[in-house]
Amino acid sequence: YRHYCDIGIAIGGGKGLVVPVLRNVERMSFADVERTIGEFAELAKNNRLMPEDLEGGTFTISNGGIYGSLLSTPIVNPPQSGILGLHSIQERPIALNGQVVIRPMMYLALTYDHRIIDGREAVTFLKTIKEVIEDPARLFLEL
């Protein structure tokens, strides 16, 4: 659909939630992404983001978990293709090898424009996110 990734990052600013856009993320290193998000967070805190910082975007990531959110359905901001909502990590019971054990769990919620993204692709994306969260080395090894 697009040959670039401009990712909106929802950040709590001095006057509420704002979504600055990281441009051409596909060309950035992990360190560049982290640094740029930190810069945007500082600008947002001081209400110093510029209108062009908030325009465009192909996809947004929102972490309601930092505010205690357990689960929500994030809303796509047109013309973006989707939004990924991350939620609080909490210990929950799960079945593992026939036993009930307590493990840290986090719910993810993906909302997407079905005119642009096929359901199979969306599920594959969520599965990849799950695998990277469970084994972060995959991100750096590009597995």
CATH of the domain at 86: 3.30.559.10
Measure the CA–CA gap between 32 and 34, rounded to whole angstroms: 5
Quick check: is 118 catalytic?
Answer: yes
Quote the distance between the C-alpha of residue 110 and its chain's center: 9
Q: Is residue 87 part of a domain?
A: yes
Taking the alpha carbons of 89, 59, 33, 127 in that order, is the dihedral positive or negative? positive
Instruction: Tell me how far apart the alpha carbons of residues 136 and 140 are, in angstroms, rounded to a whole number.
Output: 7
Indicate whether 119 belongs to any domain.
no
Instruction: Assess whether 87 carries a catalytic annotation.
Output: no
Domain span at residue 20 reads: 7-113
- Asked if residue 123 belongs to a domain, the reply is no
Catalytic residue among 3, 53, 87, 114: 114
AA identity, residue 41: A
The mean pLDDT of the chain is 93
Instruction: Confirm whether 82 is domain-assigned.
Output: yes
Cis peptide before 51 (omega within 30 of 0): no
Instruction: Name the 3-class secondary structure at 31.
Output: helix
pLDDT tens by residue, 64-83: 999 999 999 999 988 899 99
CB 21 within 8 A of CB 7: yes
Query: For 20-45, how does the pLDDT look when each residue is reduced to its tens digit (9 = 90+)?
Result: 999 999 999 989 999 999 999 999 99
Domain count, the chain: 1
The more confident residue out of 80 and 3 is 80
Catalytic pick among 3, 32, 118, 135 = 118
